[in-house]
Amino acid sequence: MDIDDRANLSEFDIIARYFSNIGFASPPGNAAVALSVGDDCAILTVPAGQRLALSIDTLVEGRHFPTGADPFAIAERALAVCISDLAAMGAKPLAFTLALTLPAADRVWLDAFSRGLHESANHYLIPLVGGDICAGPLSITIQVHGALPANAGLLRRGAVPGDLIFVTGKLGDAAAALDMLQGRLQADYAQQQYLNSRFYRPDARVVLGQALLDVASAAIDVSDGLLADLGHILSASHVAAKIFSEQLPISSTLAAVAGREQVVDYALRGGDDYELCFTAGAQHRQQLVEYAELFDVPIAEIGEIKPGMGVSCIGDNGDELNTEHRGFQHFQ
Ligand code: ADP
Ligand code: MG
């Protein structure tokens, strides 16, 4: 569509120009889409024998990302954060919808945002099939639709005493990135680049998540901090956990920018990493080593499920750490 660059953009211009063809570069993602952007509803075909898994997330400027942040990066992050819930469920991405509240129809912003969304949508093989746009303070809501084999799904309940506890990737980087962006943590240029990318480009573990359907007894993605999110598995499963600070996976960058105590704190309490935390019986250990290799995702064993309630964390020196003050919560 050709729109005069000096004219004001209408809602329909914005949809046609920036949001009509997102994520369709990736053929496998298109199979489920019977009807996309432009009608009253989108229509999806759920693969035979499968069920729909749905999840929605809102990101608000100044709360979930810094005011004035790069729109390309915001878009990538918004979609990855939402896809991470599909990963934590073991679901395969099918399609997503987008509700945007925008302070203004700013072409430069919209252009970068839609390019970021396109990049991320093609990466995760998930097309944009509909949405809504209205005026107001910047906020981005994405709903993802995924497919799960009937009767399968990585729930939070299901962990039993004796299961091992695993996390993917590295923990604490995203929280350190936020501290750095807000001037509370010093880092050199290369460290800043790494930490920034860990905050803005979380790697939603969708392929591994689907493989874990046959292996994990419970799973969650780490959005609010390991203690908080592991805590959800524990309360849903009615069990306790014992974890070891020495086994927490830490990036060399994080280890270099902060003292050990603060590093452990970032890993235990820092949110926004969007790694998976899951439990599995010890008989699956070798399988997980193979998955880590096959899917190129580090998987660290950090502890064990016990009978009882709550998390105990053994520090580097063998003493138990305080595990109070868990993660971020709204309305507190
Ligand atoms: P309605 O009045 O039925 O809600 P809209 O005018 O809001 O329809 O949207 C027209 C079409 O454009 C619909 O297919 C809708 O899904 C799609 N759409 C609206 N906003 C977006 C967006 N931000 N991204 C993708 N599709 C969008
Ligand atoms: Mg509408």
Task: Tell me what the mean pLDDT of segment 234-255 comes to.
Answer: 98
* Burial class, 216, CB count within 10 angstroms (exposed 0-12 / middle 13-18 / buried 19+): buried
Ligand nearest to the CA of 11: 1
Whole-number pLDDT of residue 3: 43
Tell me the CA–centroid distance for residue 147 and ligand 1, in Å: 23
Which residue's alpha carbon is at the smallest distance from atom 26 of ligand 1?
130
Whole-number pLDDT of residue 328: 58
Query: How does residue 1 score in pLDDT terms, banded at 50, 70 and 90?
Result: very low
Task: Tell me what the mean pLDDT of segment 59-79 comes to.
Answer: 95
Contact by Cβ (8 Å): 147, 94: yes
Tell me the CA–centroid distance for residue 133 and ligand 2, in Å: 7
Percentage of residues of the chain with pLDDT beyond 90:
89
Tell me the CA–centroid distance for residue 221 and ligand 1, in Å: 30
**Closest C-alpha among 128, 87, 133, 79 to residue 106:** 133
Contact by Cβ (8 Å): 29, 144: no
Contact by Cβ (8 Å): 266, 175: yes
Exposed e or buried b per residue across 45-55, where buried means at least 16 C-beta atoms within 10 angstroms of its C-beta: eeeeebeebeb
User: Which residues, in sequence order, are CB contacts of 199 under 8 Å at separation 6+?
Assistant: 77, 173, 174, 177, 178, 181, 272
Task: Tell me what the mean pLDDT of segment 38-55 comes to.
Answer: 95
